[in-house]
Amino acid sequence: MAEVKLLAAWPSPFYYRVVWALKLKGIAYEFIEEDLANKSPLLLQYNPVHKKIPVLLHRGKPICESMIILEYIEEIWPQNSLLPSYPYDKAIARFWIKFADEKSPAIWMVFRTNGEEHEKAVKDSLEMLKTIEEHALGEKKFFGGDKINMVDIAFGQLAYWLPVIEDVTGVKLLEAGNFPRLQTWIKNFKQVPIIKENLPDRDEMFAFFKRRREMTLASK
């Protein structure tokens, strides 16, 4: 029986955060696919509060919320560290992880809406990207320095899911704002071997999200 199981659903960016962390540390796991339109009793049992994926099961015990899962993975399997060890640097890393979690939903609002709501979401997304460009990256290759760390993983949505949202909606956020540091980071992040080998198929994602956007807007 696998010691580590991951309840998740393609192509959730939160699922991929956990995959990247596990792979970077060389941890084997069993993937249990959830149908979010028909949630399994297992998911409802292991995440009764939010009923969401991903859920990590370690020796049968559930951990929920992707960034909490990542902190847990970091503590149980410290090899190839994903967080700085010095408390102040750790606090700065956690600040940007929280920022990523708090602000990234704006890009999904761009995806899910039209009209006035959509305009506001575009504005919020550009503001977020501007803040990352001006305050978060500095001159480093990655948020983690020479190697990626938990902060890069937290921002992973921007490297791969945002471009798909841009293609589906026709809103070119990254170009519009001209974010050179961020654009370079995106290029470098996607070249990291573990990331490159563990990304959803771009064409399949495009088709999936195109259908979803059509359905979402039709139901409004």
Partner 1 sequence: MADELVLLDFWPSPFGMRVRIALAEKGIKHEYREEDLRNKSALLLQMNPVHKKIPVLIHNGKPVCESLIQVQYIDEVWHDQAPLLPSDPYQRAIARFWADFVDKKIYELGRKIWTTKGEEQETGKKEFIECLKLLEGELGDKPYFGGENLGYVDVVLVPFYSWFLAYEKCGNFSIEAECPKLIAWAQRCLQKESVSKSLPDQEKVYGFVLQLKKIFGIE
- Chain positions contacting partner 1, by CB under 8 A: 49, 58, 61, 63-65, 68-69, 71-72, 75-76, 87-88, 90-91, 94-95, 98-99, 131, 135
The residue (of 101 and 167) whose beta carbon lies closer to partner 1 is 101
C-beta of 30 vs 134, nearer to partner 1: 134
For partner 1, the closer of residues 135 and 187 by Cβ is: 135
Q: Give helix 105-112 / helix 156-169 axis angle, nearest 10°.
A: 10
CB 152 within 8 A of CB 189: yes
Strand partners, 25: none
We find the least distance from the C-beta atom of residue 207 to partner 1, in angstroms, to be 32
Least separation in angstroms between residue 52's CB and partner 1 is: 12
Tell whether omega for the bond before 41 is within 30 degrees of 0, i.e. cis: no
Nearer to partner 1, 67 or 164 (CB): 67
Whole-number minimum distance, CB 132 to partner 1, in Å? 10
Burial-class residue 178 by CB neighbours within 10 Å (0-12, 13-18, 19+).
exposed
Smallest separation, CB 138 to partner 1 (Å): 14
Smallest separation (angstroms) from partner 1 to the CB of 130: 11
**HSE toward the beta carbon, residue 153, CA cutoff 13 A:** 29
DSSP 166: H
Closer of 55 and 168 to partner 1 (Cβ): 55
At residue 151, the 3 state secondary structure works out as helix
